[in-house]
Amino acid sequence: MLRKFINRIVAVFFAISLSVFMLTGCEATRKNDDSIVLRWVTYQASDVPLDIKEVVEAANAVSKEKIGVTVNLEFQPSDKLNLMMASGEYYDMVFTSSWVNPFDKGATAGLYRDVTDLVKTETPALYDYVDPFWEAGTVNGRIYGIPLLKDMGAEEMFRINSDYFEGKKGMVIPERMNFEDIEPFLKAYKEDFPGRYPLDMTKGGIPGYMNSVERVVQTLVVLPFGEGHEASNVIPFYECDQLMDRFRLLHKWYKAGYIHPDAATIESTTSDKSIPVRFGVAWKGYQGYSNPENWGFNVKTSIYEGPFLSRSSEQGAMISICAACDDEHTKACLKYLELLSTDKRFRDILAYGIEGKHFEYLENGTVLRTDTGLSRYNTALYQTGASAAASVESVSRTFLADPDQWKGVFEEYKTDGIYSAINGFAYDQARKEDIIAALNAIYSDYKTELITGTSDPDKVLPVIKKRMEEAGMKELVEDVRQQLREWEKLNHE
């Protein structure tokens, strides 16, 4: 254990030393006409936008004039981000989150710059904008990441063909329902179309199927919402009744013929417009699921749980600054993020592209992407800044969004949000990384069939439990509980 700890420290020291070396070597290329040039690496969710160079140039013209800072924006896939972190390759700002380039892992390894004091003194408007979500970017009371405000909580919903169920069947689609309440809809459709499968399901399972619990260690160790912050409430995922009941219900629906028999191997169903019930993860007022032009019929959404707010959900998109960044460039990063968060017109450039070419402003204050924008600069908002700082997008001229959508979202979090009891706790996974790797390998053997309803959980889960306990699950859980007890003493006494 001591040798592993020493090796880890040496690796971090080497990475930071290499970064400092690269910083010195690249200094000449990071100054341009008295402006500071930042290397900003973000996550590549799909293809790199074709017009990225043109859009960044337009954004740089604005940021150079306003704050004397420009960026070289790179889109990189998750494996490249992981390699950058491991090798110590220099960057100024990098995309990090709970699901890509894991923030807690990088922050606890010392890869990110502590900006606790600078963000308050140099960019108070940025600090006020992110508040009260700074805990997501905090480890041991220090800020290492800037959360990008978006859907900070997870709301799970059904997307339902209202033309069929309400128009033809006379059924009522409520704004909210319980998960199991969709069963009569599935049954009605199956009776009318015995050869079809009414519930959309691919090998990925239900989108966000773990959002109803706090993922303390990936999907392996969880804390059910509604439980207190006591260490004893942290459990292996297979001991969570809520998750297990969900898997049992999916298997029931699978046997009833509501789920395609090959669901565990299906990559995508986007081309099949006949499926009447799909899943969604979004937020209050989101329109993307409901545009009839996309489906050929009207769609209504019905929320079945949430909004859940946890450390993992609030870390959905973040930006961290390299630990090797000097004060000048750290301040430049913060100034740039402050501008992105507080200047909507500037934010819209990186969000949607160039006005008149990639998007236009509509009379109600929302934006509409053009055909050129959809084909040449169709990025996800979180890739280039806070989603909530950009103008809201309408899906068509006749299907207009609410320009104040995000105000409603964050008000809902205050009134109806379901919060994790251990928000702010970050488990140091490096302590048991070998066990975690072994447990993930075991889970991957069963995951796809389990989350698609293909397997009977009452037969599979005992096997998973036995194998995982042999691989060290109990040791991992106890280590998590020990760290949590230490955290509780500091935060709840």
Taking each helix axis from N to C terminus, what angle separates 473-491 and 433-451, rounded to the nearest 10 degrees? 110
Three-state DSSP state, 11: helix
Of residues 359, 355, 339, the one with CA closest to residue 64: 339
d(CA 419, CA 205): 24
User: Domain limits of the chain?
Assistant: 2-150+314-352, 213-265+425-493
pLDDT at 31: 57
Q: Tell me, what's the pLDDT at 29? A: 39
Q: Which of 51, 144, 58, 67 is nearest to 101 (CA)?
A: 144
Q: In this predicted structure, what is the pLDDT of residue 14? A: 42
Quote the pLDDT of residue 30: 53
The pLDDT, as a whole number, for residue 246 is 95
Q: What is the pLDDT of residue 353?
A: 98
2-150+314-352 belongs to CATH 3.40.50.620: no
Our CA dihedral for 456, 458, 462, 465, rounded to 10 degrees, sits at 80
Whether this model's pTM surpasses 0.85: no
Strands 235-236 and 221-224: antiparallel
Q: 95 near 319, Cβ under 8 Å? A: yes
Residue 130 is given by DSSP the state: H
CA nearest neighbour of 153 among 306, 33, 266, 24: 306
What pLDDT is recorded for position 370? 97
Q: What is the model's pLDDT at position 289?
A: 74
Q: Which of 483, 147, 431, 221 is nearest to 491 (CA)?
A: 483
Do the strands 299-309 and 318-321 form a parallel or antiparallel pair, or are they unpaired? unpaired
Whose tokens are 């220099």? That residue is 90
CA-angle at 466, arms to 465 and 470, nearest 5°: 115
Q: Are 319 and 137 in contact (CB under 8 A)?
A: no
How do the pLDDT tens digits run along the chain, 493 residues long?
444 444 444 444 444 444 443 443 344 335 556 789 999 999 998 889 999 999 999 999 999 999 999 999 999 999 999 999 999 999 999 999 999 999 999 999 999 999 999 999 999 999 999 999 999 999 989 999 999 999 999 899 999 999 999 999 999 999 999 999 999 999 999 999 999 999 999 999 998 888 888 899 999 999 998 778 888 899 999 999 999 999 999 999 999 999 999 999 999 998 888 899 999 988 877 877 777 777 788 899 999 999 999 888 899 999 999 999 999 999 999 999 999 999 999 999 999 999 999 999 999 999 999 999 999 999 999 999 999 999 999 988 988 999 999 999 999 999 999 988 887 788 988 889 999 999 999 999 999 999 999 999 999 999 999 999 999 999 999 999 999 999 888 876 5
Strand partners, 305: 156
